[in-house]
Amino acid sequence: MKRTRNRMYQVCVVFFLLIMAVICLAPFVYLVVTSFVTDMSLVFKNGIALKITPDMLGAGNYSMLRTDDNGLYFSWFKNSILITMLFTVMSITLSSMVGYGVAMYDFKGKKIILVMILSTMMIPVETLMIPLYNEMSQFNLLNSYLGVVLPFAVSGFTIYFFLQYGQSLSSEYMDAARIDGCGEIRIFLNIMGPLMKPAFTSMIILQATTAWNDFLWPLIVMSKNVNFTLTVGLQTYLSPYGNNYNLLFAGAVVSVIPIMILFFLCQKLFMEGMIMGGIKG
């Protein structure tokens, strides 16, 4: 009796989850297939209703992507890779330092800093885009990687994640290391840092995805088309007049690949890190 009920439950649930999975994955399949359609005016005219047949397909869009405008797409790709790496390294290093410092030490002003961290989590950066643009222009950082990365490298959310993780660690290791004559920075780098590895994995994926997909801020900082990131560059193909669909679809597909590779490499650690060590309210 109970077993048949469980079977019923399983069939219903799998059916429902399959529908959800199809909704989540179908757009990718559609984009990949459509990116091989050589006559894009058909897609432009018919949109998603277009019935795609095998004789419409070819790799033409991808070779066009490679040669268009002296390989402009590749400079976007390079920009995105470098900005993502720079942002991830800076933000992980600095935020883990702060989170660790607040979690592991008792010091004067700790309460105030904690309140400041929590309050930055509630301030939407979008409201500050105008003064930050002016500031970057004063620092001569417009159209530079640092201009994209610097203002958001230390984020309250990332600090808070490391802070919560740090609180679950025992400070006895630190005392033992101190007795052995280990300096505070070495304690962080060699002893406590490695203990926070799951937190690092989750945050690396999360921060790399954020930087790779960031749109508004690079759009504001980067104004010359060789300096665009992938999101900003692809968006210029979306104009309602021109017919850049060939480049748009192929470019979009290629832009998804690096982050997918990163995700599938660390997928197991990431899911566990997020679910087990994640925010606990």
Partner 1 sequence: MKKKRLITQKTAPYFFCAPFLISFFLFLLYPMINMVYTSFHKLEGISKYRYVGMANYERLMTDTHIKAAICNSLGFTVGIIVVNVTLALFLAVLLNQKLTPCRNAFRTAIYIPALTSIIVAGIFFRLFFGSNTDTPLNTLMRFFGAGPKEWLYDTALTGIVALVFTSTWRWLGTNILYFLSALQTIPPELYDAAYVDGASAWQRFWHVTLPGVKPILIFVVTILTYGGLRMFGESYVLWPGSKTPGDIGLTIVLYIYRTAFGQFDMGYASAMSVALFVFLMILNALYIKFFRIGKKEG
Report how far residue 266's alpha carbon sits from residue 269's, in angstroms, rounded to the nearest whole number.
6
Least Å distance, CB 253 to partner 1, is: 8
Minimum CB separation of residue 223 from partner 1 in Å reads: 9
Q: Give me the least distance between CB of 276 and partner 1, in Å please.
A: 6
Shortest Cβ 50–partner 1 spacing (Å): 9
Shortest spacing between CB 106 and partner 1, in angstroms: 8
198 contacts 247 by C-beta, under 8 angstroms: no
* Residues pairing with 197 in the sheet: none
Sign of torsion over alpha carbons 77, 92, 221, 142? negative
DSSP SS3 for 37? strand
Between 105 and 173, CB nearer to partner 1: 105
Specify the residue, 50 or 226, whose C-beta has the smaller distance to partner 1. Answer: 50
For the record, the structure tokens of 205 come out as 């994926």
Nearer to partner 1, 190 or 239 (CB): 239
- One-letter amino acid of 145: Y
CB closer to partner 1 out of 128 and 176: 128
Quote the least distance from Cβ 124 to partner 1, whole Å: 4
Instruction: Give residue 77's identity as a one-letter amino acid code.
Output: F
Q: From residue 175, how far is each of 30, 62, 113, 191, 195 by CA, in Å?
A: 57, 58, 24, 11, 15
Least CB distance to partner 1 at residue 53 (A): 15
List b or e across 199-226, with b for residues whose CB sees 16 or more CB atoms inside 10 angstroms.
bbbbbbbbbbebbbebeebbebbbeeee
Q: Which CB, 59 or 118, lies closer to partner 1?
A: 118
- Torsion, Cα 196 201 202 208, to 10 degrees, reads 130
> Which residue's CB is nearer to partner 1, number 75 or number 213?
213
Kindly give, in sequence order, each residue whose CB lies less than 8 Å from that of residue 84, ignoring residues fewer than 6 positions away: 208, 211, 212
Are 238 and 44 spatial neighbours (Cβ–Cβ below 8 Å)? no
